[in-house]
Amino acid sequence: MRVCERCKGEKETTSKGFTSVDGTVYPDKTSQCYACKGEGTFPELDLLAIAAHFIASRGKNKNKLRAAFPSPPRGDVNLTRAYYVWRLARFHGGADVTMPMTADMLISGDPFRKELASMAEVVAKATFGTDKAAAFRWGRAFGMI
């Protein structure tokens, strides 16, 4: 288990209040942390459970990376992590080089982000033969190449 990076283990977050231009006062608001769902921690990685969600179990892609993933998941931490790895693998491998913003937002607060990103790079290399396709595309846009 690791502590949630969003709430730092406090299980709730506070949004700072403010006064709008028309004088309406909005007080500070405390609510359950949306990232860890009020748990304060995230469970250890279960790599086999995560991989089981992004590896196709039937059809022409059987035992390979899924061609598509159902709607971005919410709830099950392994399913959310699997979506993140699947989406980043496609991004790094060049199958889909648009920025993976939804995947990044879905694992907000997950302290295992670095490990999941590393897993995605390994999956991209194994599936697409490279984990640099997005870097080449976006590197030019940002003047890095």
Q: Where are the domains of the chain?
A: 2-32, 44-141
pLDDT at residue 145 is higher than 70: no
Residue 86's nearest CA partner among 136, 58, 95 is 95
How far out from the chain centre does Cα 65 lie? 17
CB 104 within 8 A of CB 80: no
Around Cβ 133, how many Cβ atoms within 10 Å? Answer: 19
Share above pLDDT 70 across residues of the chain, in percent, rounded to a whole number: 99
Q: What is the pTM of this model?
A: 0.87
The first and second tokens of residue 5, run together, are: 């990076």
Q: For residue 72, what pLDDT band results from cuts at 50, 70 and 90?
A: confident
The first and second tokens of residue 49, run together, are: 């459970």
Burial class, 108, CB count within 10 angstroms (exposed 0-12 / middle 13-18 / buried 19+): middle
